[in-house]
A and B are shown apart, each in its own frame.
Chain A
Amino acid sequence: MSRALRIGAGVAVAGAAVVLVLVLPHWLSDAKAAEFARAGCFFIAIVGLNLVTGYTGQISLGHGALMAVGAYTTAILTANHGFRDLWTIPLAGLVAMAAGFVVGLPARRLSGLYLALATFAFAVAMPALLKRFSGLTGGSEGINLFDKALNHSTGALGHVHVLGRTLATNDFLFYLTWGIGLVLAGAAWLLVRGRVGRAFRAVRDSEVAAASSGINTGLYKMLAFGISGFYAGVGGSLFVLVSNWFVSPTTFGFDKSLLLIVGAVVGGLGSLAGMALGALFIQFVPDWAADLSSAPGAPSVFFGAAIILVMILLPAGLGGLFRRLAEPLTRRL
């Protein structure tokens, strides 16, 4: 495919995604819109994780904790410092970005599983730290913006007025998360196609070769973690809003980190449409599994089986299926 065609295809996909996001809430019930909004938070975090794992080739087991940093930034600023919740979203991203750089620090020396352990340590430490510094974080009770800062929580009481229109809260949250998600996904798309993205992929394909071509591998790994932290922070910040303006240490246990990497790989690393499918997968499949049987443990069995099945049938993830289906078409172009 020529360059122009590829960019054209990208624009077409992006346009289709925007239209889909705009019309979808009309077909969704209120409760479903909320669930989709939550999937939107996962989408943002997974797009960020994809930059680290898919493009730079470093496994992160700590992105749930980066989401926690974003979530708590939003909760603390809104509850204790009088910020309006929506304005804290970029701030949450920046704070989590700083945390991402810190998590990425060992990347200057470590690779592969050794680096994975560093991120893992961060994920395991996060809930304990949140409980420990209870003056700031509310301890294991968490922070409930509904009680503490109702007038700073957009849409907490039912409706939101935007651009002269009135939206139900959950529809608003849907547009908010997926709107931000699409913008950030677009930014990621541009990033990986530029100089930085090329460096990321060089590090992934061979650190030695990248280093001998003059790429500062440690720096780029750190950069990947930092940028990815921004995404996770924004996702975490939005996660507070879609979880009834509430956050607690158990919201972001180690299982969230695992869930995110499952979402990224099941969706298909390196494919943005796949990331959306991965986010929907980790949002909805556990619910479907719970609908199948309510016996203790049964939902977990079905969810795990679904993960294994997808991986066996589609080793490149759900996004890989898209690519395979589209190939007969795109080959002719």
Chain B
Amino acid sequence: MIVAVDWAGVAQQVVSGLSSGGIYAMLAVALVLIYRATGVVNFAQGELAMFSTFVGWTLTQHGFAYWPAFLVTVLASFVGGIALERAVIRPVERASVLTIAIVTIGLFFVVNGAAFWIWSPEVKSMPNAFSTRPIRIAGVAFSISDLGIMGVSLLAVLVLWVFFRFTKLGLAMRAAALNPDSSRLTGIRVSWTIALGWGLATALGAVAGLMAAPPLGSFDQNFMQPILLYAFAGAVLGGIDSALGAVIGSLALGVFLNLLGTYVSWIGTDLRQAAALAVILVVLLVRPAGLLGTAVVRRV
């Protein structure tokens, strides 16, 4: 059932798990951003990231190198995310959480369909962001691409943390998420902080998508769906209201999935998702608010 373990192999699998975990983490943080601002899981988050990736892909088809295309796409996604929030979320801002969640499901269908409509169903491939050479560290060969993706993910999350922790705008956004009514009284335009949250989440999703696509070799319009699933699972595992929890949960999930896929062969690809979710469920039964989530104290 379990094949012999060689430690170099394990180290490689852990690093490559951390790299996919880093991608889940970015999307998970995007989910947490929107969850904290509006109390909703954005079902369209993965599809938005996919759409951004296809925009980036188009740029690379028109003479852009990978990194310039990356930058343009992330900026465009930021603006696009804000515009989207103004167009479809703002009209239901005061409706129930479930109503907003259903709007994001509608958005899921629209964005997924639009990408098929615009880019036709053939699979695409993306130029690599990093060198495909391996690098030797302490006698073990690691993939530069894995390390690079890990680095970019951590950097992206770190930049976001600095923004929320040390800027006035970040403070305003945190305040608006925590207590919209009081924030409004102090002059924060709460509605716009939500839009800004959508912009940041969409930009973060774009980074995730652009990191995830090249190593796949070929990808189509559905490539972000399993990634969203893992991001959601990672975010819930960490505690859906904690960004740090989302990062830790996603990284742990990435490593766990990789080890599971490599060393427990009878699980197979089909059951891998199910097994991962089952393990998360067990963790949640022990800690019902996730690893780092705050247990909600309610006044009656």
Contact = CB atoms under 8 A, between A and B. Distances in A.
A315 interface: yes
A53 B96 CA distance: 13
A208 interface: yes
Interface in A35-64: 53, 59
Given A125-B277, A266-B102, A315 B117 contact: no
Interface stretch (A70-78, A81-89, A303-311): A303-311
Nearest to A296: B116
A91 interface: no
A106 interface: yes
Given A117-B280, A132-B271, A300-B110, A308 B88 contact: yes
B109 A121 contact: no
Nearest to A293: B117
Interface in B214-247: 221, 229, 232-233, 236, 240
Contacts of B92: 311-312, 315
Given A209-B300, A297-B113, A297-B115, A117 B232 contact: yes
B41 A113 contact: yes
Given A113-B240, A262-B105, A315 B95 contact: yes
Contacts of B113: 297-304
A124 B99 contact: no
B114 interface: yes
Given A297-B113, A297-B116, A121 B278 contact: yes
Interface residues of A, number: 48
A229 B106 CA distance: 25
Contacts of B240: 113-114
Nearest to A301: B113
Interface string B258-300: 0000000000101101100110110011001110000000101
Nearest 3 interchain pairs by C-beta: A297-B116, A300-B113, A304-B109
23 contacts: A110-B285, A110-B288, A113-B35, A113-B41, A124-B274, A125-B273, A129-B274, A131-B270, A132-B270, A206-B300, A208-B298, A258-B43, A266-B102, A297-B116, A300-B113, A301-B113, A304-B105, A304-B109, A304-B111, A304-B112, A305-B110, A311-B92, A311-B106
Given A110-B285, A113-B240, A125-B273, 10 more contacts: A114-B290, A120-B232, A120-B277, A207-B298, A265-B98, A269-B98, A297-B115, A307-B102, A308-B103, A308-B107
Interface of B: 35, 41, 43, 88, 91-92, 95-96, 98-99, 101-103, 105-118, 120-121, 221, 229, 232-233, 236, 240, 268, 270-271, 273-274, 277-278, 280-281, 284-285, 288-290, 298, 300
